[in-house]
C-alpha cells in the first residue's frame, strides 16, 4: 500500500513520518496543494490525502478514477470545498477529521472574545503611542454576559464548557439537539430567541447552502445592541457588508473572526507591504474592535498531529476495507 499526501507543511512532516514508521506504509509527502496539474504524481498510489481551503476541481477526481484511486481523505473537518457530485460519479470515498481538537478552535474563540471585552487592542495601540491612561476603554466582564452558541457539535460544546468556567450564562441553538445540553436546559427554539437574549453570539455550524449569510441585516436587527460576534467556522455564514453596517451603527460592539467569506488568496499568504485588494476585508481589518486571525484556530501541535495521523488512518482503512471511521456521506 502507498499513500500520497498533498499540501504537507514542514510542521506536519514529523507526524507523517511517525505514522509511516508505526504503520510500515509508504507515504509520499508533496508540499504543493492538490491541483489538476500535480494529480499525476498520484499515479501508482492507492490513496490521496489532502488539505486546502481552495476548492478541489472536478478534474482531480476524474484523474484519480483513471489511476484507480478511490480513497480521498481530508486532514480537516470542513468539506464545503469538495464537489460531492463528482466524487459520487467516480465512486470516490471521502473522509475528514471531524474532531482533531475541538478545544483548539474553542480556545482561540474565547481568547479573542476576552481580548475584545478587556479592550486589549485599544490599550496596545494607545500604549505604543505613549498613552497609558485607562479611559475611555472601559471593559466588560464575561461572567455578567449571556453567550449564544449556534451549533452544539463538538466545537460548540467545547466552547460552552469554557464559557461556563468563566461564569457566563448560556443559551444555544441547533437543529440537531444534543441530549446532554438538552438536559441542562440551554436550548432555545429559534434563532430569533437566541438573538434576543445573547450578549455574545458564537458560530459553530458547518457552511451549508441554507445558512449562507445567516447573519445578515435581518439577523443583526434582531440582536441586542452592543452584541459581540465570533466566527470560527466559515466566512460564508456572515454577510460581511451587513456586519460592517452593524459595527458602524454600534449594534455590534466587536467581532472575533478566524474566517472571512473571501479569504482564499488573503489568508495563508505573506502579503509583505502589499495592500490587500479587498475593501470589505480592509474595512474589518482596520477596526480595533474587530480581531482577525488567518483561519489559524486549528493551528496547534495537538490539532496538527491529529489531522495528519487520523487522515492517514482513514485513508488506510478505505484502501484496506473500503470504508473508514470518518466516512463523509456524499448524499
> How many whole angstroms separate alpha carbon 321 and alpha carbon 46?
13
Which of 53, 236 has the CB closer to ligand COI? 53
Footprint (CB under 6 A) of ligand COI, residues 88-107: none
Examine the residue annotation and report whether 271 is marked as an active-site residue of this protein.
no
SS3 79: coil
Point out which span in 72-80, 129-137, 173-181, 320-328 binds ligand COI (CB under 6 A).
Answer: 72-80
Question: How many residues lie near ligand COI (CB under 6 A)?
Answer: 7
Which of 235, 254 has the CB closer to ligand COI? 235
> How many whole angstroms separate alpha carbon 48 and alpha carbon 71?
6
Q: Exactly one of 70, 154, 157, 295 binds ligand COI (CB under 6 A); which one?
A: 295
Of 304, 234, 292, the closest CA to residue 76 belongs to 304
Q: Exactly one of 13, 78, 84, 99 binds ligand COI (CB under 6 A); which one?
A: 78
Examine the residue annotation and report whether 263 is marked as an active-site residue of this protein.
yes
Beta partners for residue 201, in sequence order:
148, 229
Q: Exactly one of 5, 71, 76, 187 binds ligand COI (CB under 6 A); which one?
A: 76
Residue 15 interacts with ligand COI (CB under 6 A): yes or no: no
Active-site residue identified among 192, 295, 320, 325: 295
Point out which span in 76-84, 184-192, 222-230, 236-244 binds ligand COI (CB under 6 A).
Answer: 76-84
Residue 207 per-residue DSSP state: -
Point out which span in 75-83, 138-146, 173-181, 238-246 binds ligand COI (CB under 6 A).
Answer: 75-83
Q: Exactly one of 61, 228, 298, 318 binds ligand COI (CB under 6 A); which one?
A: 298
Active-site residue identified among 234, 287, 320, 325: 234
C-alpha cell at 46: 492507492
Helix-helix angle 120-128:102-117, to 10 degrees: 60
C-alpha cell at 124: 496596545
Q: What angle do CA 23, 24, 26 make, to 5 degrees?
A: 110
Footprint (CB under 6 A) of ligand COI, residues 40-59: 51, 53
The C-alpha cell 465512486 sits at 91
Q: Which helix (H) or strand (E) holds 121?
A: helix 120-128
Beta-carbon contacts of residue 109 (< 8 Å; ≥ 6 apart):
159, 202, 230, 232, 256, 258, 297
In whole angstroms, the minimum distance from the beta carbon of 76 to ligand COI comes to 3
Within 133-266, strands assigned E span 146-150, 169-173, 200-203, 227-231, 252-257
In whole angstroms, the minimum distance from the beta carbon of 295 to ligand COI comes to 5
Point out which span in 71-79, 109-117, 223-231, 275-283 binds ligand COI (CB under 6 A).
Answer: 71-79
C-alpha distance from residue 76 to each of 50, 138, 220, 281 (Å): 9, 39, 30, 24
Which of 6, 51 has the CB closer to ligand COI? 51
For 267, half-sphere exposure in the C-beta direction (CA atoms, 13 angstrom radius) is 20
In whole angstroms, the minimum distance from the beta carbon of 330 to ligand COI comes to 17
In whole angstroms, the minimum distance from the beta carbon of 303 to ligand COI comes to 8
Which of 51, 173 has the CB closer to ligand COI? 51
DSSP 232-253: -S-GGGB-HHHHHHHHHHTSEE
Site string for ligand COI, 243-282 (x = CB under 6 A): ----------------------------------------
Catalogue the active-site residues: 234, 263, 295
In the complex, the residues that contact ligand COI under the rule CB under 6 A are: 51, 53, 76-78, 295, 298
Amino acid at each position: 500500500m502507498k499513500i500520497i499526501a498533498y499540501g504537507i507543511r514542514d510542521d506536519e512532516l514529523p507526524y507523517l513520518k511517525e505514522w509511516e514508521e508505526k504503520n510500515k506504509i509508504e507515504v509520499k509527502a508533496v508540499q504543493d496543494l492538490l491541483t489538476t496539474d500535480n494529480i499525476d504524481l498520484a499515479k501508482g498510489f492507492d490513496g490521496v490525502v489532502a488539505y486546502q481551503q481552495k476548492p478541489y476541481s472536478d478534474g482531480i477526481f476524474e484523474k484519480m478514477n483513471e489511476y484507480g484511486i478511490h480513497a480521498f481523505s481530508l486532514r480537516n473537518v470542513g468539506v464545503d470545498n469538495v464537489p460531492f457530485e463528482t466524487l459520487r460519479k467516480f465512486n470516490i470515498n471521502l473522509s475528514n477529521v471531524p474532531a482533531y481538537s475541538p478545544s483548539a478552535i474553542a480556545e482561540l474563540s474565547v481568547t479573542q472574545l476576552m481580548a475584545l471585552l478587556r479592550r486589549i487592542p485599544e490599550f496596545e495601540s494607545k500604549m505604543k503611542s505613549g498613552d497609558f491612561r485607562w479611559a475611555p476603554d472601559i471593559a466588560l466582564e464575561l461572567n455578567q454576559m449571556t453567550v449564544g452558541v449556534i451549533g452544539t457539535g463538538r466545537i460548540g460544546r467545547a466552547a460552552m464548557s469554557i464559557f461556563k468556567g468563566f461564569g457566563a450564562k448560556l443559551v444555544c441553538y441547533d437543529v440537531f439537539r444534543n441530549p446532554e445540553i438538552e438536559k441542562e436546559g440551554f436550548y432555545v427554539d429559534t434563532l430569533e430567541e437566541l438573538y434576543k437574549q445573547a450578549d455574545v453570539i458564537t458560530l459553530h455550524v458547518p457552511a451549508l447552502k441554507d445558512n449562507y449569510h445567516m447573519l445578515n441585516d435581518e439577523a443583526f436587527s434582531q440582536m441586542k445592541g452592543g452584541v459581540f460576534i465570533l466566527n470560527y467556522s466559515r466566512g460564508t455564514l456572515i454577510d460581511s457588508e451587513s456586519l460592517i453596517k452593524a459595527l458602524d451603527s454600534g449594534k455590534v460592539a466587536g467581532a472575533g473572526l478566524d474566517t472571512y467569506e473571501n479569504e482564499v488568496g488573503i489568508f495563508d499568504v505573506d502579503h509583505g507591504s502589499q495592500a490587500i485588494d479587498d475593501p470589505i476585508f480592509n474595512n474589518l481589518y482596520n477596526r480595533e474592535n474587530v480581531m482577525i486571525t488567518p483561519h489559524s484556530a486549528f493551528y496547534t501541535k495537538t490539532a496538527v498531529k491529529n489531522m495528519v495521523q487520523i487522515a492517514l488512518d482513514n485513508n488506510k482503512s478505505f484502501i484496506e476495507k473500503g470504508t473508514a471511521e470518518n466516512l463523509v456521506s456524499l448524499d
